[in-house]
């Protein structure tokens, strides 16, 4: 933690806050996209996309899960999605899964999560739709198939939100599915035919 703290303490000195770019941030935020991804420390949206401060609005949780609309109780996910669309006017949402995901790994392996009731209950939101892939041994520890299907499922969950549906119907909102490899940096994009592919820059 010490290195992190030292860098935080010297951050203001290391960055040119006198520049117009940072001064302008005080006027408001106008992010281009809502980026929904896992809490995993190896997935850094700004690093992957080259985003500058103010360019992406982030929603992160274990397994980049979008709870189905209408789930009872306060939801940080529902609030963040609503705010991004209604207030910030975001027109693109990325759901980005990743390789070697601990959440996907726990689902795939059927680990006993009784010592982690919070994790277990949270992963229950993703479990039913992943069921076809959760039986059998795991051949590839990076689990692309599970993580990619999970992205597809969470995009589907997003479509169920009242705040997304009219925008999607009117062509004012685009949904993007990504799968990021933490060990290679490769980004795979979900195509309209339902397959994830690497696109040339």
123 forms part of the interface with Zn ion (CB under 5 A): no
User: Would you state the structure tokens that stand for residue 109, as one six-digit string?
Assistant: 């392996």
Using the rule CB under 5 A, is 37 a contact of Zn ion? no
Nearest Cα neighbor of 104 from 179, 195, 194 is 179
Residue 171 CB, nearest approach to Zn ion (Å): 31
Instruction: Indicate the SS3 state at residue 187.
Output: strand
Q: Which of 108/167 has CB closer to Zn ion?
A: 108
Among the listed residues 34, 101, 123, 143, the single contact to Zn ion using CB under 5 A? 101
The one among 34, 40, 107, 148 contacting Zn ion by CB under 5 A = 40
Beta bridge partners of 177: 95
Question: Bridge-partner residues for 178, per DSSP?
Answer: 96, 189
- Which residues lie below 8 Å from residue 5, measured CB to CB, with a gap of 6+? none
Q: Which CB, 143 or 173, lies closer to Zn ion?
A: 143
Minimum Å distance from CB 183 to Zn ion? 13
Position 106 contacts Zn ion (CB under 5 A): no
Contact 104, 134 (CB under 8 A): no
The residue ranges that bind Zn ion (CB under 5 A) are 38, 40, 101, 103
């Amino acid at each position: 933690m010490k290195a992190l703290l030292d860098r935080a303490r010297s951050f203001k000195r290391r960055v040119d806050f006198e520049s117009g770019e940072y001064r302008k941030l005080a006027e408001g935020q106008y992010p281009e996209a809502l980026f929904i991804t896992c809490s995993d420390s190896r997935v850094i949206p700004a690093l992957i996309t080259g985003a500058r401060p103010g360019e992406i609005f982030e929603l992160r949780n274990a397994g980049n899960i979008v709870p189905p609309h209408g789930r009872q109780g306060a939801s940080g996910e529902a609030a963040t999605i609503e705010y991004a669309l209604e207030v910030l006017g975001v027109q693109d949402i990325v759901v980005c899964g990743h390789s070697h995901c601990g959440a996907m790994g726990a689902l795939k392996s059927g680990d006993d999560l009784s010592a982690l009731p919070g994790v277990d209950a949270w992963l229950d939101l993703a479990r039913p739709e992943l069921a076809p892939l959760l039986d059998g041994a795991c051949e590839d520890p990076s689990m692309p198939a599970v993580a990619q299907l999970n992205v597809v499922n969470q995009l589907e969950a997003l479509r169920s939100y009242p705040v997304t549906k009219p925008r999607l119907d009117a062509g004012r909102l685009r949904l993007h599915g990504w799968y990021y490899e933490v060990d290679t940096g490769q980004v795979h994009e979900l195509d309209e035919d339902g397959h994830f592919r690497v696109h040339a820059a």
